[in-house]
Chain A
Amino acid sequence: MSLLEIHNLHASAAGKEILRGIDLTINPGEVHAVMGPNGAGKSTLSAILTGNPQYEVTQGEILYKGRNLLEMKPEERAWEGLFLSFQYPVEIPGVSMVNFMRTAVNAQREYRGLPALTATEFLRMMREKRAVVQLDNKLANRSVNEGFSGGEKKRNEIFQMAMLEPTLSILDETDSGLDVDALRIVSEGVNRLKSAERSSIVITHYQKLLEYVQPQFVHIVYRGRIVKSGGPELGDRIFAEGFDWVKQEFEG
């Protein structure tokens, strides 16, 4: 069974149609890259998948693990292993990373019928996962994303991903704003999670991340549709030639 099946997905926000018929299937263990010009609808797709209430599905269906994803609450989707590394991570003043993550991890455990982690267990887990993405302890003790630099926020997203060990992770331009070393560390974090069961959708504008995470599939989103799909060679062509030829093909 495929992990995710999107059929003819149409979606809008603030009355404006953004997605105009997306079809996409993802099987366990696969890494899919999603590319496309600014404003094409990539982040909107991730918002729909994770249940952001600001977006409305007007047509189509999504099956996740065989279930109707659109009927699930955002938190339930998270418990079922859906994770989004936000393009623009949100700051939550006064809420410490420790509290935030512990609430998240224990909510997930509760859903899965596991006992809550004790403070000690949780701290050990934090320490371990922080090491994976080399997230500074100081950041982990601050309020969620508050005053983090752009790169620190992205690294923090991957740290959270490592904590929650998702089945399907969506990385929305996690590589943007990362320095060379951070990009490598973040990519290693992503690769570490790779397994036969886990899949990811990697939204990016840059080649480097794709070199690290090695997607088997590349999709081009343009004007709310996937207008082209292929293997890694499709990515290479975009990096070499840009999107013009895709746009022309699509419009012509």
Chain B
Amino acid sequence: MNNGPSSEDVLKDLTSSEYKYGFTTDIETDIIPKGLNEDVVRLISAKKQEPDWMLQFRLDAYRYWRQQPVPQWGHVKVDPIDYDNISFYAAPRKKATVGDVDPEIIKTFDKLGIPLHERDMLLGKTSGAELSAVETSSTMAVDAIVDSASQKTTYRDKLAELGIIFCSFGEAVREYPDLVRKYLGKVVPVRDNYYSALNSAVFSDGSFVYIPKGVRCPMELASYFRINSSGTGQFERTLIIADEEAYVSYLEGCTAPMRDENQLHAAVVEIYVHERAEVKYSTVQNWYPGDKLGKGGVYNLVTKRALCAGDFSKVSWTQVETGSAITWKYPSCVLRGDNSQGEFYSVAVTNNYQEADTGTKMIHIGRNTRSRIISKGISAGHSQNSYRGMVKVLPGADGVRNYTQCDSLLLSKTCGAHTFPIMDIQNPTAIIEHEATTSKINEDQLFYCQQRGIKEEDAVSLIVGGYAKEVVQKLPMEFAVEAQKLLSLSIENSVG
């Protein structure tokens, strides 16, 4: 277990409040013409050398999507998305075979701090308790995805020895078609919502994970998503299957260059958890948030859902959301197995004109199922930050427990924080607890820090970091450090 990162180490690195990941990589890219129609869907499928069943899946999804009205938004304002002005497939060209990666891409990922070489990753100056432990090293397998295509997946062979499959979604379709067919769309049906249908039609790449019966994955599996090309959308598709008594911790990180345009990232993540298996899914989302005036930025419209299919299965979502102009995402748990458990830990930070509408759904179907929701919203500038959550208990679900804690911290007078908790409890034996707080940064804490010589902005970072700690410390070490940095960066110059 980690004891959380040392936030002041992290703060030391911070010199600018600019988005650090906003560069572009000059690589030759294969981009298909803008617009969306059946031919485009066929073209994507052909580019990915997919079997016919996959193409049919896409076409069905496309035909359904085309007939759907654009959804009404929760608490976010979205400019209408012009699907004729987006290219639905872009892939770095030089890639011949797996393992043969354009050096520019390796450099890009180095710059982002993501190792694409298979050696132990040395952690920086951070440590447990916080400085007392020395530097920790850990291993992490990485699937690196640029625009629409996976570039490299590390440690595949080592994992394969245990029967673990960790590869790009595209490869999985070709190499493990039976597994993919068995599970694809089972947790998030094509017709679940507008964006799941769109994603099912045009999804580009993402990761595929299969952990066989009784296997504990010995390392963190990480997917790193990078949008590079302009005028494109990214449609990530990730499928994680944990067979009986399996365990895996999976991480997802994302960044994009700074651009004036709004880029679309519409992902679908499905997690299927069998009996007594456990999946931890962590996200540090740092898509380009747009500039100070709200121009540009990624539209992050995501459907993430886990199905606890087996008894005593467990899923835990942890997310630190700092990026994107608009975030619309509710990682959810369908607790079907008896005694299964779902957890959702979230920190969502919004600044300037960002809008985040995020939360979770816990659907209790099985008996004695438990869920826990900890949500921390931090809003600054002119941003809008909403928690939208649903706890649903079906009539047959006896002995359900849910605990929800939903805190909002306001760093400016011009930002908004909202909570929309929905409870739908159809079984009287359920014990549901809900706590919510809204607060401003505590002046006494701020002054106490300043009296000790801590600059105001650093004091705010420290205090906010402390506020978010309960969630951030759920992240694996590598990500916790990154998340702390991002938190401080996103709220810089934001108190007012």
Using CB atoms and an 8 Å cutoff, list the residues of chain A in contact with chain B.
Answer: 50-54, 73-75, 77-79, 83-84, 86, 89-96, 98-108, 111, 116, 119, 122-123, 141, 143-144, 160, 164
Contacts and interface: CB of A to CB of B under 8 A. Distances in A.
Contacts of A119: 125, 127, 131
Contacts of A91: 445
Contact of B451 (A50, A93, A98, A103): A50
Contacts of B6: 96, 98-99, 102
Nearest to B135: A119
A50 B445 CA distance: 14
Given A99-B8, A107-B455, A119-B127, A52 B447 contact: yes
Contact of A99 (B130, B132, B453): B130
Interface stretch (B28-36, B158-166, B461-469): B461-469
A54 B443 contact: yes
Nearest to B473: A94
Contacts of B8: 99-100, 102-103, 106
Contacts of B130: 96, 98-99
A94 B451 contact: no
Contacts of A102: 6, 8, 131
Contacts of B443: 53-54
B102 interface: no
Given A94-B468, A94-B470, A103-B458, A74 B131 contact: no
A25 B453 CA distance: 24
A89 B448 contact: yes
A58 B469 CA distance: 40
B447 A94 contact: no
A61 to B, nearest CB: 21
Contacts, number: 111
Contact of A78 (B12, B451, B466): B451
27 contacts: A50-B451, A54-B443, A75-B451, A91-B445, A92-B466, A93-B466, A93-B467, A94-B465, A94-B470, A95-B463, A95-B465, A95-B466, A96-B6, A96-B130, A98-B6, A98-B131, A99-B6, A100-B462, A101-B452, A104-B454, A105-B453, A107-B458, A116-B12, A123-B131, A123-B132, A141-B129, A164-B452
B448 A90 contact: yes
Contacts of B451: 50-51, 74-75, 77-78, 83-84, 86
The 4 closest A-B pairs by CB, nearest first: A94-B466, A94-B469, A78-B453, A95-B466
Contact of A75 (B11, B456, B465): B456
By DSSP majority rule, is chain B's interface helix, strand, loop, or mixed?
A: helix
B12 to A, nearest CB: 7
Contact of A108 (B131, B448, B453, B467): B453
A137 to B, nearest CB: 9
B128 to A, nearest CB: 10
Contacts of B351: none
A144 B445 CA distance: 10
B139 interface: no
A75 B454 contact: yes
Contacts of A99: 6-8, 130, 462
User: Of residues A75, A103, A122, which shows the largest number of chain B Cβ atoms within 10 Å of its Cβ?
Assistant: A103
Interface in B427-479: 442-445, 447-456, 458, 462-463, 465-470
Interface residues of B, number: 35
User: Of residues A101, A106, A107, A111, which shows the largest number of chain B Cβ atoms within 10 Å of its Cβ?
Assistant: A107
Contacts of B450: 51, 73-75, 78
A105 B452 CA distance: 8
A60 B129 CA distance: 47
A143 B132 CA distance: 15
Given A102-B131, A105-B453, 14 more contacts: A75-B451, A86-B451, A89-B448, A92-B463, A95-B465, A95-B466, A95-B469, A99-B7, A100-B8, A100-B454, A103-B449, A103-B454, A111-B453, A144-B448
Contacts of B132: 123, 141
B449 A92 contact: yes
A107 B318 CA distance: 33
Contact of B466 (A84, A86, A143): A143
Contact of B11 (A86, A96, A103): A103
A85 to B, nearest CB: 10
Contacts of B453: 75, 78-79, 104-105, 107-108, 111, 164
